[in-house]
Amino acid sequence: MSLATALKANDVTQLPSKRDEDWKWTDLRGLLRVLPPPSEPFAGEAPVGPFASLANLPIHVVNASDPFVIRSASVEPYVVALHFAALGGGSHSASAQVEVADGGHLILLESYEGDGADYVANLDLKITVGAKARLERIVLAADGAEGVSVSIAEVTLGAEAQFAQTVLTDGARRQRIETRVAHPGAGAAVRLDGAYLLAGKRHADLTTVVEHLGVDGTTSQLTKGVVRDQSRGVFQGRIVVAEGADRTDARMGHHALILSDKAEVDAKPELLIFADDVQCAHGNTIGAFDQDALFYAQQRGMPEEVARALLTEAFVGEVIDRIEHEGAREAARLWAAKGLGL
C-alpha cells in the first residue's frame, strides 16, 4: 500500500488508509475518492526553487520525471539543490537516487512547491551515504494548500558516515514526509530534525524510522511544531535498536505548541530496544502557550503579539540552529519568520 503503487496502477484501493497502523493519522484512501488524471506536461518556465543560488548543481523538476541519479565523490562540500514543483494539477510521481561516495561530502538542499490547484504528488528517494561520507539534507516543503503530497526517503549509511537532516514544512491539504534510515552503527551518526508550522486546514506528517543494526551508532532527533487554526500536525518517530546493536546512543525529542482550540497534534514516539547496553531517551511535550512566560515578556514591555512571536520563534529556532549549512540555516530562519507572521 503506497501512493506510488496506487498511482502506477491508477487504483485508489491501493492507497494507504487508516487501517494501516503507520498511516492512521494520514489517511489517503479516505481523502481521495478518485485519483486525478496524470498531470499535463508543463510548458512554461520552470521554477528553480529557493536554494538554486546556493548550489553548485541546481536541478529542478516540474511534475513527473523519469528516475535519475545524483552521484557525488567530492571531498569538498558539494551543494545540490533539488526542486520539485507541482504545477497545474493532476497526479504525478518522481523518483531519484542520491549516492555519496566513500569519504564524500554532499549538501542536498531539497525543496517542494505547489500552486493553487488540486494535485497529488509522490516522490521516492533512495539515498546512500558511503563509509566516512557526510550528507546534510534540508527539505523545505512549500506545498499548495490543496495539494496532497507524499515524500519518502530511504537512507542507507556506511560505517562512520554522518547523515544530518532537517525537514521544514508548512503542510498541505494532506502531506507526509517520511524518512527511513538503515543505521549500521559502526561510528555512524544520524541527526534527524524537523519543524512544522501549520495554519488554516493544513496537515503535515513527519514520520521517521531509524533502525540501529550494529554496535556504536548514534541518533539525535529534535522535532518542533506549531499548529494554529484547524491544522493538524503528526509526528511518528520510531527508533529500533536491533539485538546486538550495543552501545547505541539514541535521543528523540518532539515538542509542539497548539495555538488554537481546533488545531491538533498527534504524536507517537517509539523506542523499540532489543539490545542490552544502550542509552536511549525520548521526550514529547504538547501544550498551549506558556502564559507565565508570556506575562513575563509583556511585563518587560512587549505587546502580546510581539511576545508571542519572540517566544514562538525561539521555540522553533532550536531546530534551525542545528542546521550546519549557513545559507540553508538563513533560508530556514526566513521561512520560520514568514510562517510565524513576523
Partner 1 sequence: MLSISNLHAEIDGKAILKGLTLDVPAGEVHAIMGPNGAGKSTLSYVLTGRQGYEVSEGTATLDGEDLLSLDPSERAARGVFLSFQYPLEIPGVPALTFIRTAMNAQRKARGEAEITAPAFLKLARATAASLKIDFEMLKRALNVGFSGGEKKRMEIFQMAMLSPRFLILDETDSGLDIDALKIVADGVNAMRSPERAMLVITHYQRLLDYIKPDRVHVLADGRIAESGGPELAHELEREGYDKYARAA
- The yes or no reply on residue 68 touching partner 1 (CB under 8 A) is no
Applying CB under 8 A, which of residues 13, 261, 299, 326 lies at the interface with partner 1? 299
- The yes or no reply on residue 317 touching partner 1 (CB under 8 A) is yes
With CB under 8 A as the contact rule, which of the stretches 30-38, 131-139, 185-193, 300-308 interacts with partner 1?
300-308
Q: How far is the CB of 301 from partner 1 (least distance, A)?
A: 4
Applying CB under 8 A, which of residues 318, 322, 324, 337 lies at the interface with partner 1? 318
Alpha-carbon gap, residue 93 to 140, rounded angstroms: 18
Alpha-carbon gap, residue 98 to 137, rounded angstroms: 11
Q: What residues from 151 to 210 belong to the interface with partner 1 (CB under 8 A)?
A: none
Applying CB under 8 A, which of residues 302, 324, 327, 333 lies at the interface with partner 1? 302
- The yes or no reply on residue 310 touching partner 1 (CB under 8 A) is yes
- The yes or no reply on residue 293 touching partner 1 (CB under 8 A) is yes
Applying CB under 8 A, which of residues 57, 288, 306, 334 lies at the interface with partner 1? 306
- The yes or no reply on residue 342 touching partner 1 (CB under 8 A) is no
- The yes or no reply on residue 230 touching partner 1 (CB under 8 A) is no
Q: How far is the CB of 292 from partner 1 (least distance, A)?
A: 6
Select 82 or 197, whichever has its Cβ closest to partner 1.
197
Q: Which residues bind partner 1 (CB under 8 A)?
A: 290-293, 295-304, 306-307, 310-311, 313-315, 317-318
